[in-house]
Chain A
Amino acid sequence: MKPVSPFLELDDTPRAEVTFDGAPLRLPEGANLAAALLAAGIDVFRNTPVSGAPRGPFCMMGACFDCLVEIDGVVRQACMIEVSPGLQIHRPHAQEADDVQA
């Protein structure tokens, strides 16, 4: 079931098929990935390597590193990536999140 989003989207733009932890999602193509995931109702992007606490986007400008996700085996900032078709996005595993790559 699609999670209910706490966000309103002003514009309707063409969608791209991606997956988040295996579940299919249709996100606006070319959009900021962190924003698109939030609008799709996903709020927990990862759990911290220290305590396992849930985290999601905080600064949206590439500074806080809280929106980390894993794509093609590399842990990256979702707010610095644009949505493209076929992205396979995963919540990074705790031990890998500690070994962050932008």
Chain B
Amino acid sequence: MSKRDLVVIGAGPAGMAAAAMAADLGLTVAVLDEQPRAGGQIYRDVDRVPKGRGRILGKDYTDGASLTAGLRHDRIDHVAGAVVWAIEDGFCISYTKDGRGAQVTAERIVLATGALERPMPIPGWTLPGVMTAGAGQILLKQSGILARNAVLVGSGPLLYLLAAQMVRAGTPPLAMVETQTRRDLIGAARHLGGALRGWRYLLKGLGLLAEITRARVPRYTGAQNLRIEGTDRAKAVTFSARGTSHRIACNTVFLHHGVVPNTQAARSVGVVHDWDAGQACFAPRLDQWGGNSVAGLFIVGDGAGIGGARAAELAGRLAALKVAEELGRLSSAERDRKAEPIRSALYGELAARPFLDAAYPPCSETLLPADSTVICRCEEVTAGDIRHYAKLGCLGPNQTKAFGRAGMGPCQGRYCGLTVTALLADANGQTPDATGYYRIRPPLKPVTLGELASMEHVAPDAAE
């Protein structure tokens, strides 16, 4: 079994930056990442993107190549296509690559597992042709494919970014069906100070909106009663806006109302999480280095709380400094001296975030969906089922598994967990913190017996 000073899980901006800085400080590093090439979702396939596609995606995307370059380092072993399924004390990390199980041990771990799309359960969201806006971006970045007749539904900067990229590619969306309201924007004004400090983000957002408007893409705001029609695939989006009902026929629907931390790996090792009311999601309880209730493990990037790619990169560097200091490669004074400019940059990166969170809040009708809406895609459990379980005395998400298998399908709760917590909290008159979240156990991703049997150099205690 191989040994490293540091194992980084995830090769997005946070993971790549943490690995590069740790290696520069003399540590041996392995970066385990599920994808065939480094970049995470934000810089997906940045190293092999053709020029024309790079222009459509924009400079913020192509700039990611400077981070992937940082992984090409003598002391970094970038293990691509590695699906991590267990993290055990010590630390011992088990993963599958090319159909074979493998393990690596590490003195320290940096978890950089990024974000997931916030679940957006509306009627029809399980139909083929309905995808997340993130999926739309991935299709464009990695494969250069674009939906010809798409409607974008939800809210937030990513929706505008995808729309603008579609405009540049010559396949503008048929419409933007936006759920944020004028009242949200007025409410967000109290965060204007921070927004002005983070003016670059605002300017970018206005630029994207200008591109969308110039292309005459119809925009509807304050949209409600969202529904996707279709039997075998998505055929149309229906909604109401300003008292009028609308129906837009389409082939593809991209849903988005923010992203949330992917907490699966952190929860599997028992990291304490708290409800973040501002971002309406759970986030790990962290110190200023990404440290938490599990000694020796650090959490950075969007998995630590949504801050975006640049903030993720900076947080990755901070964690690397702390790891290097703990392993004796850096004095605490040197660590703090190197951390200071990174911290002040991070402060600037996060300045606009409270404004954005308030101006583009999650779509409320999807946080507590109508009874007939499927909320657990895998096991096809509806919101009404969860409310019924609550009436029968179900207090927390782990009990819902016994009542009706919610969260027990292959996605392991990734796309229903927050909805189940919200529905139970609402039905039982409890806070999300008191309601809690699914207990996440290894294997974090399915493993075949064949993959286990082909595992080499198994640690004695893992072979029981």
Q: Which A residues contact B (CB, under 8 angstroms)? A: 6-11, 28, 31-32, 35-36, 38-39, 43-45, 48, 50-51, 53-66, 68, 74, 80, 82, 100-102
Contact = CB atoms under 8 A, between A and B. Distances in A.
A39 B129 contact: no
B279 interface: no
A63 B135 contact: no
Interface stretch (B138-146, B352-360, B390-398): B138-146
Contact of B134 (A61, A68, A82): A61
B233 A54 contact: yes
B410 A100 contact: yes
8 contacts: A35-B142, A39-B143, A59-B117, A59-B134, A63-B262, A80-B83, A82-B36, A102-B445
Interface in B66-97: 83, 96
For the complex of A and B, list the 4 residue pairs with the smallest distance between their C-beta atoms, beginning with the closest: A56-B128, A6-B251, A35-B143, A65-B410
B248 to A, nearest CB: 14
A64 B132 CA distance: 11
A58 B132 contact: yes
A38 B377 contact: no
Q: In terms of DSSP, what is the predominant structure of the interface of chain B?
A: loop
Nearest to B41: A61
A51 B232 CA distance: 13
B233 A11 contact: no
B414 interface: yes
A54 B128 contact: yes
Nearest to B50: A11
B378 interface: yes
Given A43-B233, A45-B128, A63-B262, A6 B446 contact: no
A59 B252 contact: no
Contacts of A80: 34, 83
Given A54-B128, A101-B448, A9 B145 contact: yes
B447 A102 contact: yes
A65 B444 CA distance: 13
